[in-house]
Structure 1
Amino acid sequence: MSEPTAPHVPALSATHRQTLRHHLMSEIGRPLRRPRRILVLAPAAGVLTAVVAAGVITQPWASDSAPVIVAVAPGEQAGATLLLNRMADAAVDKPGPTSGDGEYVYIRSRGAYAEVGDGPARLQPVRERELWIPRNEPGEGLLREPRFDVPLAEVVPRQSRLDEVTPNAALVDLPPDPDALLAKLYREREQRGRGNSRDGAAFTAIGDVLRESLVPPATSAALYRAAAKIPGVEVVRGVTDAAGRRGIAVGHTELDKRDEWIFDERTFEYLGERSYLVADTADGPAGTVLGTTAVLQRAVVSTLGERPQR
């Protein structure tokens, strides 16, 4: 039997490319509403079923998906600021890639996200994906998942200004001062005028940067220090990512859902994310997992589609 081929992906306009980029890098980690049968790419994530204006990329639902429940551990708000500032201090001392290392950022990850609506949320199978994005200049990118090779042409159009901090090159230009950085994120939330509260939106935006980007050490430190200033941020211990690695989490609860960034407790290396309900809702009981991810590898490579040594 011949291998199935990926569906044809039509050429996209600059606006549609920007929409795709937004789905890939900014909408990640949000639960999926079953009646619409639309999956967004959840960060570092697994399943690609995206609907983007001119083209549709589909993947069937898993027939054996089921709710996954975790214990809802109490968060420690008192220790969050201390932990994040310790992480910032450690980040400054870590080496970053040199300017001549390559032209593309490569990120390999795995994840699973829940289908929600019309009953309890059901977690889909864990899947692996690879992402290549331009490192410094606008240009082509590539998303590779099982059965799919999706070209991301001009992920940052030269004449378009994104309102989300998603392209890797843009990370270098983030304010190094945590107060200025947090103010920028709050300002962007006010300009959108929709979505989470400004604190929840800021937490999500920082997570977007941490998830699928290669962040310079100084920028990582600024992100952690900015996160330490977000009201309601808390520490959750004994958390496991989508690769089964245990770590310590920094979380934020918005309405009935807690989002967590998971780190190695000793090195403070970013491991992945987890999202779950903290109260009983129509989508399931408290502890229902809505998303889980793990970043497996980050590197700089010379050519689009090139894989670094594992």
Structure 2
Amino acid sequence: MDELKLIAERTDSVPLAESCVLGPARARLMAEIAAAEAENVVPLKKRRRWVWTGVGAAGLAAAITAVVALTPAGLEPPAATADPVAVLRSAAAAALKTPGTPPKPDQFIYTKTKQPDGERESWISADGTHDGLIKMADRGSFPLPGCRNGQAQVYKGEEPLKGVTEPCTPRPGYRVDLPADADAMFAHLNAENAGHSGEKGDYHAMGKDILALVNENYLPPAVLGALFGAAARVPGLRAVDRAEDAAGRPGVGITWPLGPHHDPKVAKPVVIVFAADTFLYLGTNSTAVTASGVVDAVGQRP
């Protein structure tokens, strides 16, 4: 019997699943494929041949019927069926494919984010030596003085104090100083945690560091990939198939584990959200990155 005819007969009486159900399933499939590609486990073409070898028309029709009828109309699918490690590895693989043109030292990393207290815009010096700015919708502007010759201008509010400086270390927005390997990145983040809280393995603190890096910095593709690869090593992660960032954009989410002193009955975990089709980072359930880019001057937008 013709394969297409058999498939049509098998699925003719089966109602199609709604897009809200198929979306998470597609995200899971793409996550597994991207994760396998990232690890070079089996070449994609060879894997496809191996998967379908020996599957006859009847078996293929039964498989498609099962997918179509997986979730009858009106029933809720499982809340979290995606693999959080696969999602983060897919995000790492997607990061490696993003353009990575280095900014010039005198340029600025621009980011617009939506936060609980309103919109925030930042202009961070690419090399950390030029004066940047943070602008918040309801709270005004905050200068980010550049660090030149080991000294930074001191401000009172938005006004510089004449002749008053303080010792500093440049804090560049373009982070080429970070590891480009997932293992090395994980060790670096753990060391940073020990410096902040005095103890390694504080994954809640690590999550804060990861979000601070990815939200308002420009990371080379290899560094961004290493960051998500390091995140995949954190225990206690969970996936949320249908998540939304603070701007209401849908995607697949990863819940970050709470800190050791948080009450799980009161504290809500942070959900890191990625686009379900591309696995590009969108933001979290409390902060969404809505625009970013490299500009030549404070006040400019990409």
| Residue of structure 1 equivalent to 2:112 | 108
Contact conserved, 1:195 with 1:201, CA < 8 A, in 2?
no
Give the Å deviation of 1:204.
Answer: 2.0
1:217-256 correspondence to structure 2 within 5 Å = 217-254=221-258, 255=262, 256=264
* Cα pair 1:97 1:300 within 8 Å, conserved: no
Residues 169-203 of structure 1: CA distance to partner in whole angstroms, max 9, x if unpaired? 3x211111211111111112122335995222222
Code of the aligned partner of 1:151: P
Question: 2:190 touches 2:200 (CA, 8 Å); kept in 1?
Answer: no
Identical pairs, percent: 31
Structure 2 vs 1, CA of residues 150 and 99 (structure 1 numbering), >3 Å: closer, same or farther?
closer
SS at match of 1:229: coil
Looking at structure 2, the residues matched to 168 and 160 of structure 1 have their Cα atoms a distance apart, in angstroms, of 15
With normalisation by structure 1, the TM-score equals: 0.58
**Could you list the runs of 5+ residues in structure 2 that have no partner in the other structure?**
1-77, 151-166
- Structure 1, unpaired ranges of 5+: 1-72, 113-125, 275-291
Partner secondary structure for residue 168 of structure 1: coil
The whole-number CA distance in structure 2 between the counterparts of 1:270 and 1:208 is: 13
- Which residue among 176, 180, 189 is the counterpart of 1:172? 176
* Cα RMSD for the two superposed structures: 2.7
1:92 deviates by 0.8
| 2:284 is equivalent to residue 300 of structure 1 | no
In terms of fraction of residues, the more helix-rich structure is: 2
1:89-238 matches, cutoff 5 A: 89-100=93-104, 103-112=107-116, 126-146=117-137, 148-154=140-146, 158=150, 160-161=168-169, 167-169=172-174, 171-193=175-197, 198-238=202-242
Normalised TM-score (structure 2): 0.60
Name which of structure 1's ranges 146-155 and 102-111 shifts more when overlaid on structure 2: 146-155
- After superposition, the C-alpha distances for 1:106-129 in whole angstroms (9 at most, x for unaligned) are 1111110xxxxxxxxxxxxx5112
Q: Conserved in 2, the CA contact under 8 Å of 1:101 and 1:301?
A: no
Q: Following TM superposition, by how much is the alpha carbon of 1:157 offset from its aligned partner in structure 2, in angstroms? A: 8.3
Q: One-letter code of the match for 2:137? A: P
By relative contact order (CA 8 Å, sep 6+), the higher-ranking structure is 1
Amino acid at match of 2:107: E
Q: Number of residue pairs matched?
A: 201
Larger Rg computed on CA atoms: 2
Q: One-letter code of the match for 1:174?
A: L
Over residues 77-125 of structure 1, what are the superposed CA-to-partner deviations in whole Å (9 max), with x where a residue is unaligned? Answer: x71111111221121111123445960011111110xxxxxxxxxxxxx
